[in-house]
Structure 1
């Protein structure tokens, strides 16, 4: 009798469990053709674990939904590096400047102004080429996904993609600048303005290259010059900096019209550029 009761109860349990599973967990497949974004978002909120929206294309180039633009630093579009200004600076006859304007603490700005801003313009060009190349690769990259992700996930993916693009572009430009810096310093290039060495051709046509030393100037006025010692471009090329000055027509090395504390002239151009600030260009005075 007990056995029969157990069997009846067990069968009743199986019938009840089967009905529960069938009624409660029965699902229905509903297909909605071409839903709008609003409908999809509503359905996703209500059925986030069950909704499935396959894409008609699993890969789409970034330029279908990304618009990548960039702006270079203002100096790269300013008159400082314009072709008209560079042409004007190169036309200046530096041979008419007195020899004493090339001292061991300063240089007349006219002697290297053209090459200095041509160097700045070159770096602006490098930056533009670097970004444009990265931009072309970026917009042609394929975004691959076989199902439509929810908006929150898609926005996170887009943010991650942009951050990766910016980081890689910066890294590549930094690598380029570091390569230029290393190549310039290791190969010991001689500058045309004789700032890192003194190049002399003697009467026999022999080229003589001598090291140069500069005064480490701390302050210059029309009446005084203070220095903290001397440095050698052959040994301390990253520490030697000359002051850019526009001299008057007199014969006094401290008789100048303009002193550019913001600009620096190094033994090699890239060192001076690293130490330069261009805030003065945006000042009304």
Structure 2
């Protein structure tokens, strides 16, 4: 019975057998190609919730993309930033009580020499207070402008990416704000120093009488020297006065003062008369105790930014319309079978035509009369 299946006595049987073989081979190769070839599948989720989005992000973090219905989102709707300034800016050293204490009874020029920091101490601490206020105003104004501006992005960012973006924006903002602030401060310092404007404390220039026997006591000004540095040549001359600094200008003196002195009462108040001075209110900071006040000012007197970011508010403001993700699907036997069923009718016709064509060509070549055969017959 099996042998009879492969015996082809007629042309029609040959066509049927060849048709069956062609159809079987084509279906087999299509099945192998379709069922085991990896396929890239794209799935769309319409208006996902936050919980659904987080689930999708865990499963398809590399391919998930969501488009926002609102491209521009106000920062203040999802972000809050509080700058934490150095404790010096809230300490007793910038208080009126402390400044009145270091000023004492006045007549500082009679009580101290020009190279004693206590001679210009009231001016130094007044300047420290002003620098703190100016930096706070600058930072708060800049942050206020940022929070009222808009975060623009057409895609929904994951929480980690959003935090990274905010950190980059804050770093850029701090850099530009610091440069802008310091450019103004340095411009003022250069204008005052280059024009050799005399300090009200007479720490850079002093009056010298020309003759002790003149009725009019004519005087001229002479530059003050601090060590080997002459205020007539450089307005940034300073020298150590204990652990504090004295110099041509109180501003230059306070900027070159080391931070550690503000943590030691013996350094800043050697007599210990200011009993209400509480050094314990100053906490350790990110700045090294050997840092100068100028290095802290370069950072706008900021210790850190405390950011409070609400990702839920950001997601609600973004209102994603849809999310797309892709994944690779393999061994889809069911889908392949369905595809083969849909192709079966067309394959039957094609393989039938191919079988007929091959059989006709075979029969034609088989039955064609050759010239050699004709010569033998004659």
For this structure pair, what is the TM-score category when the shorter chain's length is used for normalisation? 0.5 to 0.7
- SS of 2:116's equivalent in the other structure is strand
Quickly say closer, same or farther: Cα 1:97–1:27, change in 2 above 3 A: closer
Q: Distance in 1 between matches of 2:234 and 2:216?
A: 32
The yes-or-no answer on 1:70 pairing with 2:51 is no
Alpha-carbon RMSD? 3.7
- Matching residue within 249, 264, 271 for 1:283: 264
Quickly say closer, same or farther: Cα 1:144–1:205, change in 2 above 3 A: farther
Larger radius of gyration: 2
* 1:265 to partner: Cα distance: 1.2
Quickly say closer, same or farther: Cα 1:232–1:27, change in 2 above 3 A: closer
- Matching residue within 157, 161, 173 for 2:165: 157
- SS of 1:210's equivalent in the other structure is strand
Q: Distance in 1 between matches of 2:84 and 2:64?
A: 42
In the other structure, the counterpart of 1:190 is 198
More helix by share: 2
* 1:69 to partner: Cα distance: 0.9
In the other structure, the counterpart of 1:274 is 255
- Matching residue within 227, 231, 236 for 1:233: 231
Kept in 1: contact 2:224–2:248 (CA 8 A): no
Kept in 2: contact 1:76–1:121 (CA 8 A): yes
* 1:90 to partner: Cα distance: 4.6
Q: Distance in 1 between matches of 2:143 and 2:179?
A: 14
Under a length normalisation based on structure 2, what TM-score does the superposition of the two structures give?
0.53
- SS of 1:125's equivalent in the other structure is helix
Q: Distance in 2 between matches of 1:269 and 1:115?
A: 6
Quickly say closer, same or farther: Cα 1:170–1:268, change in 2 above 3 A: same
In the other structure, the counterpart of 2:12 is none
The yes-or-no answer on 1:142 pairing with 2:153 is no
Kept in 1: contact 2:72–2:153 (CA 8 A): yes
In the other structure, the counterpart of 1:35 is 49
Q: Distance in 2 between matches of 1:266 and 1:163?
A: 34
- SS of 1:57's equivalent in the other structure is coil
In the other structure, the counterpart of 1:255 is none
The yes-or-no answer on 1:102 pairing with 2:102 is no
Deviations 1:217-239 (A, max 9, x none): xxxxxxxxxxxxx4421024433
Q: Distance in 2 between matches of 1:236 and 1:213?
A: 10
